[in-house]
Amino acid sequence: MPAHQFRGHVEAVDSQTGIISGWAIDLHEPGKPALLHVLMDGQEIMQVLCDLPRKDIRRILLTPGDRLGFRFALPAEAHDGLPHDFSIRFDDRRALPFPDEKADGDGQEVISLTLSPHTRYMSYIDGLEEGRLRGWIVSRTPASETWSGSVIVGIRIDGVTIGTVRADRYRSDVFEALHCDPDCGFEFAIPQRFHDGFPHEITAVSLPDGTPLSGSPLKTSLADDQLTARLVQIESNIAQLHQQLTALRNSARSLIPRQPLDLRHYDQWAQDYYRLLHEQAALQREANPLTETPLVSVLCPTYRPDEKDFRTALDSVLNQTYENWELIIIDDGSRCRRTKAVIDDYVRKDKRIRAFALKKNQGIAGATNEAIGKARGDYITFFDHDDVLVDIALERMVRAALKTGARLLYCDEDKVDTTGRFIEPNFKPDYDYRYLLGCNYICHLTFMEAATVRRVGPLEDRYNGAQDHDFLLRATEIIPREDIHHVPEVLYHWRKTPNSTASSISSKDYAIRAATDCITEHLKRRRLKASVSAVERLSVYALDWSFRRQPSVSIIIPFRDQLEMTRSCVDVLLASQTYRKFSIILVDNFSVQQDTLAWLDSIRKHRQVSVLRVEEPFNYARLNNLAARQSESDLLLFLNNDVIVTQPDFIGKMVKETQASPEVGAVGARLLYPNNTIQHAGVAVGPEIIGIHVHKLRSATFMGYIGRLRLTHEVTAVTGAAMMVPRSVFSDLGGFDEVGLAIAYNDVDLCLKIRSSGRRVIFCAEAEAIHHESHSRGSDDRPEHEARFFHEKQVMMERWKDNPLFKNDPAYPHYFRQDLRTFFDLRNPEDLWS
């Protein structure tokens, strides 16, 4: 037992309102709230019970209960404009320490305050009627001689704040008795979850000073009838069981000794993957044999290859399970006897192999064009002379082409090092034009309808090093989006040697110059203007769009008090942005602090700022919907008040991405935690997690998986903390769901609606801000949020469970687990075909 029976600390003292808060415990009776004695100038003026929940202190002290906190306002006699000394003592007369920044110890026992004359109240809680708490309250300031209504009242149940209401209902009885403002009554509907027949303590206080209303707290039990009470109890038990099961599942996961395989163990994972891939292909071959067998032309330009690697490459074609192919080898003027001998050997082995030797070296583009001219197949696929095809590659690509009718197909790939180990898999998203502008993520294996290849035209030797990127960009100019198909299987091994492109992309500066040129020319053909630059001298490229039109933007910022954060958010926006055609709609959800209200009176005078007051329970979706209906701007930027934007062209970059394509339905930003790690870089969706932020907690300097942290690309969803949506799109889709998804997942739900309507959701990697996540409303993990959060998860599951976007996120490779280590931990290969 410690030397003292009591422990505690005063954490905050508001010298304006006289509100004091902190925690305390009686160690002899740790499960019972401690009683405190408040003294003014040595005389006791009130007693305070420490009955507010403080789970943080409970975890530290390991107490049986969490009712350890206190928060109270000094009584009216302390607010006389004169200095007084205050202390707070336990039953044993030992004092709680007050915070003292100048003191080296735990703090001071006495604090001196001069409090302005206090607002006086008259009030009463009438009681409960049909599940509604009824009462009235009027106030009078020292400067006023009349009692006024419209006081804001906070409601707590069992120590937890559950709502706010303004006392502005007409009460003739109070007016006749007191001759005061008749608009002073209030009603508050007690949430259904408390209608369980069990006793609850209901407290009503004036805000912001926290003065309890007369008759408060009210201890009672609520039940509409016996059946309703029982149903509420059952629902509450289900919610508790869900919470316990979640905790148990997380605990069990943490106890499992075997860690999941990740990218560092890819070779080990790949061994199981390729075995299962072949088994799945064999089952499909048996159940659904191919009835069509179009000829596939495999084009292989070569120039003095390593003999062993070259033979391995050619063998991988000979070993294909699909037999109707031709291999066209173009010897690009190598004049190498050993290369010629290998080619001659394979031509003799198989009549499907045809070889041609060029008299002079024409480079990769020229040699490939020669091969295209010789091809006789219905489909053409491109193959490097030292790479390796998985033996079922052509079979899988032909099946996909016949099933989908696609004219351009591509698959996933990995690399193989000099020891034969599989490394660095490139698991690709479904077709993403915006990503293709930033890098040639399609690469291998490119499988195209032969007529389309010839229509696209020859490869351009002026873009050597990026000739395939240029070719694919030109292909997108004539192939509709729906005719480009991703085969989500690893069917191609890119050989990684010390001198290969796979080993060192950054060493080929000429390739980077060629890529920036071909991307620029492609955009010109599409009548789009942008400057293209390499990111950190790698073959990934950032675009800075040049659009003359400047659509108007309404920035919608919901908030409640939190003056410093909200003011910082607004002030920095107004001061920093070079894009000026924007306005701010501040959605004030029942702020009560006088400093906040004074700031609002001042900021609404700014020509770019308007204030929308919403005196309703917190409903994130509804707050944004109400503001959106008020806006007449072209674009809506939904922004949390805890997002701080200092990047001067933040708004401009997001606006430009909305103009880059008429198909864009939403644009999200790259958000960082204050410690410079990733908070948001797009959201992956799925039944297991509903929505999870990808690359979360990775360093802001990290390139991300295949450049995704630094490249703008399509995603399935983005966070509503910084999301830009054309107002017409938002209106057409009905805005956020304010009924089923009032708080959580409404942004993911909206993005899924946008994607389902055929529009695109873009993660803009170039627009960056700092996000103090959940600063506004706190975490969904808190017990009082559990029931609501569980309900919203169920709404999402029921609404989207059968939607292909939700079942298999097209922007997030299905090989990866959807957990906190996105793009790193690998799924069990057996689950990929389940």
Q: Is the pLDDT of residue 139 over 70?
A: yes
Residue-wise pLDDT for 389-418, tens only, equals 999 999 999 999 999 999 999 999 999 998
Q: For position 224, what pLDDT does the model report?
A: 62
Q: Helix or strand or coil: residue 715?
A: strand
Q: How many helices (H) and strands (E) does the chain have?
A: 20, 39
Kindly state the average pLDDT of the residues 485-514.
77
Spatial separation of the C-alpha atoms in residues 95 and 99, rounded to whole Å: 13
CATH 1.25.40 fits 120-225, yes or no: no
Kindly state the average pLDDT of the residues 82-102.
86
Pick 650 or 502 by higher pLDDT: 650
Per-residue buried b or exposed e for 320-332, using 16+ beta carbons within 10 Å of the residue's own CB? bebebbbbbbbbb
Band of pLDDT at residue 1, cut at 50, 70 and 90: very low
Q: For position 688, what pLDDT does the model report?
A: 86
Q: Is the pLDDT of residue 102 over 80?
A: no
Q: For position 229, what pLDDT does the model report?
A: 62
As a whole number, the mean pLDDT across the chain is: 91
Residue-wise pLDDT for 703-756, tens only, equals 999 999 999 999 999 999 999 999 999 999 999 999 999 999 999 999 999 999
Across 563-663, the runs of DSSP E, i.e. the strands, are 582-588, 609-613, 635-639, 643-644
Computed on alpha carbons and rounded to an integer, the radius of gyration of the chain in Å comes to 34
Band of pLDDT at residue 505, cut at 50, 70 and 90: very low
Band of pLDDT at residue 504, cut at 50, 70 and 90: very low
Kindly state the average pLDDT of the residues 30-48.
92
Q: For position 2, what pLDDT does the model report?
A: 46
Q: Is the pLDDT of residue 82 over 80?
A: yes
User: Which of these ranges, 3-12, 32-41, 399-408, 531-540, has the smallest mean pLDDT?
Assistant: 3-12
Q: Which helix (H) or strand (E) holds 775?
A: none
Q: Is the pLDDT of residue 566 over 60?
A: yes
Q: Is 222 exposed, middle or buried (0-12, 13-18, 19+ CB in 10 A)?
A: buried
Q: For position 590, what pLDDT does the model report?
A: 93
CATH 3.90.550.10 fits 553-833, yes or no: yes
Domain boundaries, the chain: 6-114, 120-225, 271-526, 553-833
Kindly state the average pLDDT of the residues 590-612.
95
Full-prediction pTM beyond 0.75?
A: yes
Q: For position 481, what pLDDT does the model report?
A: 96
Q: For position 256, what pLDDT does the model report?
A: 56
Spatial separation of the C-alpha atoms in residues 100 and 768, rounded to whole Å: 38
Band of pLDDT at residue 437, cut at 50, 70 and 90: very high
Percentage of the chain exceeding pLDDT 70: 92
Kindly state the average pLDDT of the residues 318-340.
96
Band of pLDDT at residue 85, cut at 50, 70 and 90: very high
Spatial separation of the C-alpha atoms in residues 760 and 658, rounded to whole Å: 10
Q: For position 782, what pLDDT does the model report?
A: 54
Q: Is the pLDDT of residue 242 over 90?
A: no
Band of pLDDT at residue 774, cut at 50, 70 and 90: low
CATH 3.90.550.10 fits 271-526, yes or no: yes
Q: For position 144, what pLDDT does the model report?
A: 79
Contacts 24+ apart (CB under 8 A), 280-286: 280/833, 281/321, 281/392, 281/395, 281/396, 284/399, 285/321, 285/395
Contact 470, 463 (CB under 8 A): yes
Q: For position 188, what pLDDT does the model report?
A: 95
Q: Is the pLDDT of residue 233 over 80?
A: no
Contact 516, 534 (CB under 8 A): yes
Q: Is the pLDDT of residue 684 over 60?
A: yes
Q: Which of 106, 25, 101, 15 is nearest to 60 (CA)?
A: 25
Q: Is the pLDDT of residue 236 over 70?
A: no
Spatial separation of the C-alpha atoms in residues 469 and 465, rounded to whole Å: 9
Percentage of the chain exceeding pLDDT 90: 74
CATH 3.30.420 fits 6-114, yes or no: no
User: Which of these ranges, 114-123, 319-328, 483-492, 741-750, has the smallest mean pLDDT?
Assistant: 114-123
Q: Is the pLDDT of residue 50 over 70?
A: yes
Q: Is the pLDDT of residue 3 over 60?
A: no
For residue 445, cis peptide bond before it (omega within 30 degrees of 0): yes
Q: Is the pLDDT of residue 501 over 80?
A: no
Band of pLDDT at residue 507, cut at 50, 70 and 90: very low
Same fold, 6-114 and 120-225: yes
Q: Is the pLDDT of residue 369 over 70?
A: yes
Q: Is the pLDDT of residue 228 over 70?
A: no
Band of pLDDT at residue 106, cut at 50, 70 and 90: low
Band of pLDDT at residue 154, cut at 50, 70 and 90: very high
Q: Is the pLDDT of residue 104 over 50?
A: no
Going from the C-alpha of 132 to that of each of 135, 214, 796, the distances in angstroms are 10, 17, 30
Decide the pairing of beta strands 553-559 and 530-534. Answer: unpaired
Q: Is the pLDDT of residue 524 over 90?
A: yes
Spatial separation of the C-alpha atoms in residues 110 and 132, rounded to whole Å: 42
Contact 522, 470 (CB under 8 A): yes
Q: For position 791, what pLDDT does the model report?
A: 87
